Structure 1
């Protein structure tokens, strides 16, 4: 397939995929936010306040749409990073819609393998785009940010998805309360954010996504002491990671200017 046809196909698939995912996610009786709120509000404490979902997804979808348009421009069709990432993002957006559809059926356990492949394809696309590794132009760098947000958010969603599937399957949590497991998941999630930050070439977007999610959990569960404690501690950990990144970056920039 020629680069022109590939880039146009990528644009078409991503546009249709985003439209379908939004339709499936917000149609009557299968709204993913409503299902999560109604089914897991007092059992899965890794769900942020609703505003987090309704603000982060428009950013992700708008960014992916912007990337799809940008890679289809004549001047960018030969970009090797775009060529390498395109197939993975096309598969990814299809899986995104499939996950939303299955979740809408309340088949929570069945969403797990889909989420696993969804995260995998996002990681591969992230690697193919060489985010944090290749020197790129301003616009390409800007359009890498939504991909980082997407990956960070999917890892947050994976933790919540695993918890939801276990609850739906009737797991008793080894006799521990839901609040205790909420605390554990929040601390594990913070550790995961730091691990991903270091493993993805110090991509500061990752801990910032977790910080946004944890602030949403603080807002939602401010009346649940254990969960509130876990969310506050987790927020401090990821905020410190991001803060240290910015301090180090500023120091490096200052050193370069004085060298």
Structure 2
């Protein structure tokens, strides 16, 4: 259902506007280049694999790790929230879309915690590849998307600056994302969450590289460097859940 609605959102498109066009309608410097949103293809592919993986184990007497019982209802709520967010966003209900986005973020945090990502190292390779990694990436993207959605609401209500220049405001948001990514990276040994933030900040860099907003470009590059170093450290020391 989620994949279908996402496809229709841009093929029809819903309310005669694509998702990207609507993002441009609420211009803010935190939104990355359009190519960045291709990560949705990766997320949906991994989620499809996750569903197939879970269905496979439903019919086994040995229900490996009890993934379905752990995340079943939360996954359904996340799918519903994702679909509703698209509809709210395309019909330009920005406040409603943010509320739905927060519900989606909450459900993904619940899934992340129930899977004990970065805390439980007894999961098989298949479980890591098709259960934990998809939700690491999904949560990473929605964490950053929520920040962008908040900014869109501020723009709609002419409160985007809050006493600050748009450039400074964006730099603050980028720093918040850096701190969040590094915290998850080192506390939960989750390189995939970190890589999503690196990808997003690369998108911000691409969009702002040839503009006058040098501060944003510099902070985005700093974020890419710091998080990438953290990822390499975790991989080198084999301190990531995929290696356990």
Category of TM-score, reference length = shorter chain: 0.7 to 0.9
The question of whether the paired residues in 1 share the 8 Å contact of 2:10 and 2:18 is answered with yes
* Structure 1, unpaired ranges of 5+: 1-15, 251-255
The question of whether the paired residues in 2 share the 8 Å contact of 1:153 and 1:209 is answered with yes
2:93 matches 1:107: yes
2:166 matches 1:182: no
Q: Give the Cα separation in 1 of the matches to 2:55 and 2:97.
A: 32
Cα offset, 1:18, TM superposition:
2.4
The question of whether the paired residues in 1 share the 8 Å contact of 2:136 and 2:192 is answered with yes
Q: Of residues 30, 36, 40 in structure 2, which corresponds to 1:57?
A: 40
Q: 1:185 to 1:26 in 2, by over 3 A?
A: farther
Q: Give the Cα separation in 1 of the matches to 2:206 and 2:53.
A: 37
Q: Give the Cα separation in 2 of the matches to 1:196 and 1:38.
A: 32
2:214 matches 1:229: no
Q: 1:76 to 1:119 in 2, by over 3 A?
A: farther
* Structure 2, unpaired ranges of 5+: none
Question: Counterpart of 2:9 in 1: which secondary structure?
Answer: helix
Cα offset, 1:155, TM superposition:
0.4
Give TM-score, length-normalised by structure 2.
Answer: 0.87
Root mean square deviation, CA, Å: 2.0
Cα offset, 1:75, TM superposition:
2.5
The question of whether the paired residues in 2 share the 8 Å contact of 1:88 and 1:121 is answered with yes
Cα offset, 1:21, TM superposition:
3.2
2:138 matches 1:153: no
The question of whether the paired residues in 2 share the 8 Å contact of 1:52 and 1:216 is answered with yes
Q: 1:103 to 1:142 in 2, by over 3 A?
A: same
- Aligned residue for 2:233? 244
Q: Of residues 23, 33, 57 in structure 1, which corresponds to 2:20?
A: 33
Q: 1:76 to 1:136 in 2, by over 3 A?
A: farther
Q: 1:202 to 1:26 in 2, by over 3 A?
A: farther
- Aligned residue for 1:20? 5
Q: 1:175 to 1:187 in 2, by over 3 A?
A: same
Give TM-score, length-normalised by structure 1.
Answer: 0.83
Structure with higher Rg: it is: 1
